[in-house]
């Protein structure tokens, strides 16, 4: 009987060949993926329907069902995204820096694959493809734990990925899933020292905390987003309405959706009613502080829980602050260091916000929904790192590499 550890070991063995694969071989695998996805859409959708039916029976929220759902249009979008990675530069072998020492030793620091990337995520089958194509292009094997909610969909997708690798002359074992082992599969990944080189959790705060606390392999922390927008005193009304609505309503289930709105007290009368009216039209429940409740009748009283809430739904917490200092203090206290945005026409306040907010992405006069590998031009992303070591922000191809030093000599010895 094949165990989760056996599958991880198979990925490790396959990683050696994938690390040496040519750019043409890796691109051919991606081309096959982009072709096979629409060609097998009926099979994928049938498996996805089984997962969705179970999700409905289990009482999964509508927003999470949306993340789980695949249809013909979404499958084609995933295929198109995979195809775009083909045109991106292959980072493997890039020279980061080079030098010649006084003793004539020649040094080059070059990019190399990480090896085996493990990713634990929840109910998002599109992530299965996004992660795999980035891993393949950067020469990494990948072990996936996509969660029980998407198990049937992911089984079909992983088989497709393995077929694409084989068509391209690469080892199919370079992509593995441990979904069939349930939570135990994820625990084995966390303990797979020497087999998994880095583990990336993508999902809610609970999942990320578990992985960070229990893993014995290196972890890159990603994902949970208590995302803030601050409307400054000088903000334009139309920008405030449009940006906040887009950041909250366009896709509320994702990690770059706005969860907390802060507004300068001097902008409340001019801006807040229009912003909240627009949100209410979109079905958003307003969790407001006392000042917000006094200026907008359709609110739920905000509690301390609301300032740390990642709703993943049509809810938003709203607080009126005295000035930029109070907004910065609130963000520093409650932010998960994902994305924050200020809406302002005051240049000094904008630059101060950019300089002082300690998050992976900090924006001026833009929707937080732009914190995304695809929007940043990376083609896709493995996750959005909220830590500071190795990688920060959307993780594309370069972030899936490490480096090594190549030293070329001619008989030198050290004195």
Interval 68-118: pLDDT, tens: 999 999 999 999 999 999 999 999 999 999 999 999 999 999 999 999 999
Are both 105 and 253 inside the same structural domain?
no
Write out the residue range of the structural domain in which residue 172 sits. 4-222+382-408
User: Domain total for the chain?
Assistant: 2
pLDDT of residue 62: 85
Per-residue pLDDT for 199 more than 90?
yes
Mean pLDDT of 384-406: 91
What does the pLDDT look like over 65-80, one tens digit per residue? 988 999 999 999 999 9
Are both 184 and 267 inside the same structural domain?
no
pLDDT of residue 138: 97
pLDDT band at 136 (very low <50, low <70, confident <90, very high): very high
pLDDT band at 254 (very low <50, low <70, confident <90, very high): confident
pLDDT band at 319 (very low <50, low <70, confident <90, very high): very high
pLDDT band at 315 (very low <50, low <70, confident <90, very high): very high
pLDDT of residue 78: 95
Are both 69 and 216 inside the same structural domain?
yes
Residue 343, domain member (yes or no): yes
- State the alpha helices, DSSP H only, in 168-308: 182-191, 205-214, 237-249, 268-281, 290-295, 304-307
Are both 187 and 86 inside the same structural domain?
yes
pLDDT of residue 354: 97
Query: Distance (Å, rounded) from C-alpha 143 to C-alpha 59?
Result: 29
CATH of the domain at 210: 3.40.605.10
Are both 353 and 386 inside the same structural domain?
no
Are both 47 and 170 inside the same structural domain?
yes
Greater pLDDT, 123 or 137 = 137
Per-residue pLDDT for 193 more than 90?
yes
Mean pLDDT of 45-68: 93
Burial class (CB in 10 A: 0-12, 13-18, 19+), 160: buried
- CA of 324: how far to CAs of 127, 235, 349, in Å? 37, 12, 8
Instruction: Reduce the DSSP state of residue 33 to 3 states and report it.
Output: helix
Mean pLDDT of 296-314: 91
Are both 35 and 138 inside the same structural domain?
yes
pLDDT of residue 63: 76
Instruction: Mean pLDDT check: name the lowest of 7-21, 96-110, 219-233.
Output: 219-233
Q: In the Cβ-directed half-sphere of 293, how many Cα atoms lie within 13 Å?
A: 9
Per-residue pLDDT for 205 more than 80?
no
Residue 398 neighbours by CB under 8 Å, 6+ apart: 91, 111
CATH of the domain at 295: 3.40.309.10
């Amino acid at each position: 009987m094949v165990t989760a550890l056996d599958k991880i070991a198979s990925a490790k063995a396959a990683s050696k060949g994938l690390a040496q694969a040519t750019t043409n071989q890796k691109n051919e695998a991606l081309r096959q993926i982009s072709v096979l996805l629409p060609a097998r859409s009926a099979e994928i959708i049938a498996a996805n329907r089984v997962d969705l039916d179970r999700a409905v029976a289990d009482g999964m929220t509508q927003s999470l069902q949306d993340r789980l759902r695949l249809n013909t249009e979404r499958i084609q979008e995933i295929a198109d995204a995979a195809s775009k990675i083909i045109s991106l530069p292959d980072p493997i072998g890039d020279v980061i820096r080079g030098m010649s020492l006084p003793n004539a030793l020649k040094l080059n620091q070059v990019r190399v694959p990480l090896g085996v990337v493990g990713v634990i995520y929840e109910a998002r089958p599109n992530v299965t493809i996004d992660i795999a194509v980035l891993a393949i292009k950067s020469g990494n094997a990948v072990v996936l734990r996509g969660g029980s909610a998407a198990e049937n969909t992911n089984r079909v997708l992983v088989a497709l990925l393995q077929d694409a690798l084989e068509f391209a002359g690469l080892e199919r074992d370079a992509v593995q899933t441990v979904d069939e082992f349930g939570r135990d599969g994820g625990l084995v990944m966390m303990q797979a020292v020497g087999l998994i080189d880095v583990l990336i959790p993508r999902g809610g705060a609970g999942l990320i905390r578990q992985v960070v606390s229990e893993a014995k392999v290196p972890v890159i922390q990603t994902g949970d987003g208590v995302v803030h927008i601050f409307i400054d005193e000088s903000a334009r009304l139309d920008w405030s309405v449009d940006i906040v609505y887009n950041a909250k309503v366009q896709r509320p289930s994702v990690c770059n959706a706005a969860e907390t709105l802060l507004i300068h007290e001097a902008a409340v009368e001019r801006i807040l009613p229009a912003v909240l009216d627009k949100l209410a039209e979109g079905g958003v429940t307003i969790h407001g502080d006392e000042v917000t409740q006094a200026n907008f009748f359709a609110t739920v009283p905000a509690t301390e829980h609301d300032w740390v809430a990642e709703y993943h739904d049509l809810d938003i917490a709203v607080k009126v602050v005295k000035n930029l200092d109070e907004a910065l203090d609130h963000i520093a206290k409650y932010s998960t260091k994902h994305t924050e945005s200020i809406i302002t026409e005051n240049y000094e306040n904008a630059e101060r916000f950019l300089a002082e907010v300690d998050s992976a992405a900090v924006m001026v006069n833009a929707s937080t929904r732009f914190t995304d590998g695809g929007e940043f031009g990376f083609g896709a992303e493995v996750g959005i790192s909220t830590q500071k070591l190795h990688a920060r922000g959307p993780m594309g191809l370069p972030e899936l590499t490490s480096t090594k030093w190549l030293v070329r000599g001619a008989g030198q010895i050290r004195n």
